[in-house]
Structure 1
């Protein structure tokens, strides 16, 4: 960042354990009970499982409208209502979180403009604060209108990977992620969703997730945070731990 390579980078790290024996279906049920989120998903490919409790939408197409809702900005929930309200207000007023969020909003606007009709891309909501069981999140909504002639493949090529899990500028940040992150992300920070026969679709961002191999009994979860010039390393670390808190509660139960 100091060299001018990028403005913001979403740096992620893996937490893992070997020799874990568990029932993925039961674990997913418990995870979504502890942390019910609008973009949860259970996905299996042979012996590999994804248990996802994601609060974030990557991209949705509703008829001629494309919608993206990146998350940048996180604050912990508190059982004390007054403290919880202050945490929520503090997140909304945070200069750092707003700067992170608006950088990604600009990136998403640019991505959508590659496939949407000229002049139709707009920010429907900026710095919206949404409350989930474990955290408050700062979410912005960007949309644009698209012609029927634009294919699903063209849309994905223009917008994936999502800006909230890369950074800005996207291409350079992806090179830095490849250089500095110690493990490959795999499906983490990818997307799971559906594509309907009428061409509509809805995809999440794979975060707040467990990855489990029921042959090797390898369990993995990853978390990341947006790093900018003004970031405090200790606070970024605490944010990562906060994001996997629900998964920690799952293992306390078991």
Structure 2
């Protein structure tokens, strides 16, 4: 089984990303920064937040569903705000999504928030609402059940330092992972945590018996060349039993986002 975790950057590099996903077709894809705009059939809209202006693939969730037609797709919104089509405001949902190969029975799910709650009336002030989603699946090839839970960690304009809000976030993520799992089962936790490699978030999850694979593997970061700010770490993948890992890599080529895909083979 292959599990991929990626912040999709709102589909900014969709021309590179979609064929990559179609070709690699991971059994489980945990995708953050997903845009879903069911009120429009536009391909592109614009996100505006002061000086922060970004193109957004208006129906990024739809695009990924089309690239992975043999997967069950679940979209988990964190907020609904507006994107812009010129001077026209278009309602748009933003969150994360999970895609599971149809041959894998989904035998449990959990969806919740690691920071704040659903924001239906705008994206709000930073740090904004952040969601998480977990699935429990049966792997017929290995004859076992396992869970995969991912989140998109809060963005603090001051930086990626440890804060009380991030401590609560880590506790909530850990709790959601346990909710979707049974004692003794293999657990995977991943996502764009928006913290540094020495963060208390990772220590908190290590205390729960999880091994972090990016730092343990000596990878120099999880950001692609499209990310030009300082700090090369944001994304992490943890597992409850490192003996179950057949292979793990941080994919640097092709570049499909300003984040690198994390790919775990069990």
Q: Do both share a fold (TM > 0.5)?
A: no
Q: Relative contact order (C-alpha < 8 Å, sep 6+): which is higher? A: 1
* TM-score when normalising by structure 2: 0.27
Larger Rg: 1
Higher helix content, 1 or 2: 1
